[in-house]
Chain A
Amino acid sequence: MRYNTVTVNKPLGLLQILVLTLLLAACSNNSDPEKATEVLDNSQEVLDYYASNPDFFRFKSTADLPADLKWQDGSELPEIGSEQAVKGGTEYARIADFPRTLRLVGPDSNGSFRGYLQDNVSLSLAHRHPNQFDFYPGLAQQWAVDIDHRTVYVKLNPAARWSDGEPIRTDDFLFMFFFYQSPYIVAPWYNNFYKTKYSHITRFDELTFAITVPEAKPDLDSRVLELTPVPQHFYRELGDDFVERYQWRFQPTSGAYIVKPGDIKKGSSIAFTRQQDWWAKDLKFWKNRFNVDKIHLAVVRDTAKYFETFKRGDIDRFGLDLAQYWYDKLADSDPDVASGYIHKTQFYNQRPRPTWGLWINSAKPLLDNRDIRIGINYASNWDLVIAKFFRGDYARLHSAREGYGGFSHPGVRARSFDIEKAQQHFSKAGFDQRGDDGILVNSSGQRLSFTLSSGYERYRDVFTILKEEALKAGLELKIEVLDSTAGFKKASEKQHEIHFVAFNVGLEMYPRFWDFYHSDNAYDQAFLADGSVNPLRTVKPQTNNLEVFADINMDQKIAAYRASSDAAEMTVLAHEMTEMHYDYASFVPAFYQPFYRVGHWRWLRYPEGFNYKYSSSSSHYNVYWIDQAMKKDTLKARKEGISFDPEVTIFDQFK
């Protein structure tokens, strides 16, 4: 549920490797090998922590449970996955870089690999159904929501256990708060989130507990039900040296896949093995998923090489989202596709859309002028990029809050490319003359020129197209393509002028505004007590408010939005805020991809409808399986030149 930049298949920047090597070299000299093996036991420390925070950690007995709770168990929801799925086989996949740690929190842990370790595989209390949005049970057997007291009551499934055999109990949830609130994990985001987003946890017995949140929200249940416990027995040695001590230890999981120590080949590959006796293997919502016995992930840094490896059959699946792959490099006429060895699938999904666009830093000189920002909106030819570069497959994003059903504004439309209007607004801001090179200048000779920075190397051609088109309106964009980490750092430090980036968004009921538009995230003390602009305010780095958007009216609306528990009222507020954001013009919406596309060898089988409405990728929800006999046949047929029926399928049931 964290907001991260969209992870890309991009090799680690050389700089990072260098820095990492230097760091490793430095560490190896200083770290004391004795210290890491020293056995710690923090049981007492944990109990003391509970005792010293009696408001947060409350202990009661089952007799104290309210009698009138309405228990739910999600059992009315349909099953997930296919009855035809068979277990077994090895899936071969690729990672762009070897993970730098197996920890789930702390430095370097928030990479794309975390998805394999935790986010995509482990069980939380309950999960949103991929077609229905309602919750089906994970670790919880039953739960009950008490809106008036902002509390969710949970009864754990007694069968639930960790992959090392220990049962999953209420104490693991108490410990979860200890763990994430602890300074040992070196993760300020978690420290803050688990301290401020939850007000207390109440233990009734070893299987029953309740968690209370500070604000009653329409999606109150998700705040609690999407929590994943932390195994207390595993983190008994949690201490100051957590980062090093747990660097390569695999945390026991509630999910199906574990990492065996022998399967970690640092720098080259890592494998996940399915537990044959997984505790949830026969449960209704889990039995037809997580089918492959082993997931083998090999490091292949270069995309071109990744594609060739896939074509050789050494990797089972390759993402074809980019038009040049879908149409040219793996065309329908490709021998492997035409002979039916490789299937091509396009799947339309529905979920909140990543916010691709130009984020204009409205605290920079000239860009603080609304007319210039509007001019930039009109001078950005995204329609051409979509039509020519993405070959019309993608759609124009109209606001930064799309894919949230009624919460998304139905009327706001992104400004289309219009040279006339762009020039009108630029000339309103004083830029009404063209210089010798065709760039607009104002009366003091200043050129209308900004730096367009980004950490997305793969979109460099898009920036070139934008630059050439903007020239027509007299606007110069200087392109700066950075390493992905450096790019995001630049933007979060608010050093950018115009930055191209997207925030990935989880499957949530309604959009977030505070992170992006609240003045708290724009400036230190943006406004004085009387509501006027603080003349001494300084830009606040390291927040998601990349546009440095600060408006006292917006702040008030955000406060009302956060405090509201009424979905209808929140919808009205969301629409108003989206309009305000549109009027401010600090964001140029770019595009979204209403589908995902994949090429996969025919032995990789999928359920009838391929995947589910809210799925974000072809491997999401792990409903596929491998037909081992078919794999043998296919490889043999390929050798002998026998072909099958080609399969290029478009699933548009959720279009």
Chain B
Amino acid sequence: MFSLNPQTLKKLRRFRAIKRGYYSFLLLSLLLLALSVAELWVNSRALIVNFEGQLYFPTYGAFHPGTDFGLDYSYETNYRALAEVFAQQEGDNWLLMPPVPYNAFESHSSGEYYQPEAPSLSQLHLLGTDTTSRDILARLVYGTRIALLFAIAFMLAVYLIGIAIGCAMGFFGGLFDLVFQRLIEIWSNIPFLYMVIIVFSVVPASFDTGARIGLLLGVMVLFSWTGMTYYMRTETYKEKSRDYVAAARIIGASNRRIIFKHILPNVVSTLVTFMPFTIVSAISAITALDFLGFGLPPPTPSLGELLKQGTANLRTAEWIVTSAFATLVMLLTLVTFIGEAVREAFDPKQFTVYK
């Protein structure tokens, strides 16, 4: 929609020059990339199985029952056990497990009971296990992935609605503006957290996990888009009175063209600076909701659920809370650094010092 004009390019160059933000950005991108293929490095399914001369790649796709590999059960193969079977047989069969050979749901205890176990290299539980002996690293990885995807989807949705309505308010003004302002004032006074809690107590039904995450997203977006409209409205008001808009109008440009081609690219800097902070708030919100038990349905891995477990077992299993807390801090710090850098890069007054 937008082609990069020289000014934007200049801003991007300035962003690159701010090292802290830039490296945070690279790190976060790398993290996102790694998380999007998490199945390849944190998974209970093997990467490659060589069984009787045939190669299998179980990571993605349909499950392989144990009978596929000469075992006597029809449910999903336990690849860790299979590796031991192969080792005993001393045949040509072999398999390659991911570096972290656990998924986020299975209980794997080295002792007699399901209880938290401290990080151990020999068990390959690099961050230890939680109260039901599930691998914390696996739960962190998949939990973070869900949280990040959720936050990005949340941001996109909030911006779409916020920009559309805010722009329209600023551009058309008058009665439309007046009515919407009042509506937004009322709407934004409804406490969002309580609404989520109420909605979730009423419509849990038999939705599957995906639908419930979607619902949570929907409710959160519904109560969060209002904040954006104010910035968009003032910015649009400001830009609308500029000469170039008047000029475009005289030439005969349609409202749509003026909004999308002329005004939007000029207010985009305001938008961009808010993005990272929206992500931060989305991650915090979903973590908080999970912590309170109103977020993602169990046993979906999540940071909030880990934090909750951690605080409940502070004396006996401090590794749970440490890893969840460290992850959250790291994630939020990275995004905040990026946000600050973006804000600075897009600031028209280059030599201002914030006091």
B131 touches A323 (CB 8 A): no
Number of A residues whose C-beta is below 8 Å from B? Answer: 41
Cβ-based interface call for B194 (8 A)? yes
Q: By the criterion CB–CB under 8 Å, are A467 and B197 in contact?
A: no
Interface residue B214 (Cβ < 8 Å from any Cβ of A): no
Closest A residue by C-beta to B75: A472
Please determine whether A483 and B315 come into contact, CB atoms closer than 8 angstroms. no
If A15-B201, A438-B65 touch, whether A479 touches B312 (CB-CB below 8 Å) is no
Question: Which of B63, B197, B201 counts the most A-chain CB atoms under 10 A from its CB?
Answer: B201
The answer to whether A388 touches B114, judged by C-beta atoms less than 8 angstroms apart, is yes
Inter-chain contact B204/A389, CB cutoff 8 Å: no
The range of chain B's interface size is 35 or more
Nearest opposing residue in chain B for A467, CB measure: B299
Which residues of chain A are within 8 angstroms of B314 by Cβ–Cβ distance?
304
Give the docked Cα–Cα distance between A474 and B76 (Å).
9
The stretch among B32-40, B101-109, B144-152 that forms the contact with chain A is: B101-109
Q: How far is the CB of A507 from chain B (nearest CB, A)?
A: 33
With A328-B115, A497-B206 known as contacts, the answer to whether A480 contacts B63 (CB < 8 A) is: no
Instruction: Give the distance to chain B from A18, nearest Cβ to Cβ, in Å.
Output: 6
User: How distant is the Cα of A389 from the Cα of B131 in the complex, in angstroms?
Assistant: 9
Q: What is the bound-complex CA distance between A423 and B74, given in angstroms?
A: 10
Asked if B124 is an interface residue, CB under 8 A from chain A, the answer is: no
Closest residue on chain A to residue B194 by CB atoms: A18
Please state if A436 and B75 are interface contacts (CB–CB under 8 Å): no
- Give Cα A203–Cα B198 distance, bound, in whole angstroms: 53
Write out, one digit per residue, whether chain B residues 176-213 have a CB within 8 A of any chain A CB (1) or not (0).
00000000000000000010011001001010110000
Q: Does A77 contact B (CB under 8 A)?
A: no
Known: A460-B298, A486-B201. A329 touches B316 (CB 8 A): yes
Inter-chain contacts of B76 with A (CB < 8 A): 438, 471-472
Instruction: Report yes or no: B106 in contact with A468, Cβ–Cβ below 8 A.
Output: yes
Query: Shortest CB–CB separation between residue A186 and chain B, in angstroms?
Result: 24
Given contacts A388-B113, A472-B75, contact A465 B132 (CB under 8 A): yes
Whether A598 is near chain B, meaning CB under 8 Å from some CB there, is no
Contact of B75 among A304, A457, A474 (CB under 8 A): A474
Residue of B62, B133, B299 near A479 (CB, 8 A) is B299
In the complex, what residues of B have CB within 8 A of residue A436's CB?
Answer: 61-63
Chain B neighbourhood of A388, CB < 8 A: 107, 109, 112-114, 133
Residues from chain B with Cβ under 8 Å of A474 in the complex: 74-75
Interface residues of B in 80-138 (CB under 8 A from A): 105-107, 109, 112-115, 131-133
Contacts of B62 in A (CB 8 A): 436-437
CA of A481 to CA of B75, assembled, Å: 26
**When the two chains form the complex, which single residue of A15, A387, A419, A497 contacts B73, counting CB atoms closer than 8 Å?**
A419
Count how many pairs of residues, one from A and one from B, have CB atoms less than 8 Å apart in the complex: 101
How far, in angstroms, from A330 to B132 measured CA to CA in the complex? 19
Residue of B nearest to A463 (CB): B298
Chain B residues with CB below 8 A from A434, complex form: 63, 65, 74
CA of A465 to CA of B328 in the docked complex: distance in angstroms?
A: 27
Known A388-B114, A478-B206; judge A461-B131 contact (CB<8 A).
yes
Interface residues of A in 388-445 (CB under 8 A from B): 388-389, 391, 419, 423, 434, 436-438
Complex interface: chain A residues within 8 A of B112 (CB):
388, 391
The reply to whether A457 and B113 form a contact with Cβ atoms under 8 Å apart is: no
Find out whether the CB atom of A479 lies under 8 angstroms from the CB atom of B298. yes
A207 within 8 A of B: no
Within the complex, the shortest CB–CB distance from A407 to chain B, in Å, comes to 35
CA distance A457 to B290 in the complex (A): 13
Given contacts A329-B316, A391-B113, contact A471 B299 (CB under 8 A): no
Give the Cβ gap from A309 to chain B, nearest Cβ, in Å: 14
Instruction: Report the bound CA distance from A388 to B76 in whole Å.
Output: 21
Q: How far is the CA of A324 from the CA of B314 in the complex (A)?
A: 13
Complex-state Cα separation, A437 to B208, whole angstroms: 15
Asked if residues B197 and A324 are in contact (CB atoms below 8 Å), the reply is: no
A473 touches B299 (CB 8 A): no
CB distance from B20 to the nearest CB of A (A): 37
Are B75's CB and A473's CB within 8 A?
yes
Closest residue of A by beta carbon distance from B316: A328
Which residues of A approach B to under 8 Å, CB–CB? Answer: 13-15, 18, 303-304, 323-324, 328-329, 387-389, 391, 419, 423, 434, 436-438, 451, 457, 460-461, 463-465, 467-468, 471-474, 478-483, 486, 497
Additional A-B contact list (14), CB under 8 Å, known A464-B299, A468-B107 = A304-B314, A324-B115, A329-B313, A434-B63, A437-B62, A464-B132, A465-B107, A465-B114, A474-B74, A478-B297, A479-B298, A481-B298, A482-B201, A497-B206
Binding site for A on B (CB under 8 A): 61-63, 65, 73-76, 105-107, 109, 112-115, 131-133, 194, 197-198, 201, 204, 206, 208-209, 292-294, 297-299, 311-316
> What are 8 pairs between A and B in contact, CB < 8 Å?
A304-B311, A323-B113, A324-B316, A419-B74, A457-B293, A468-B105, A479-B297, A480-B297
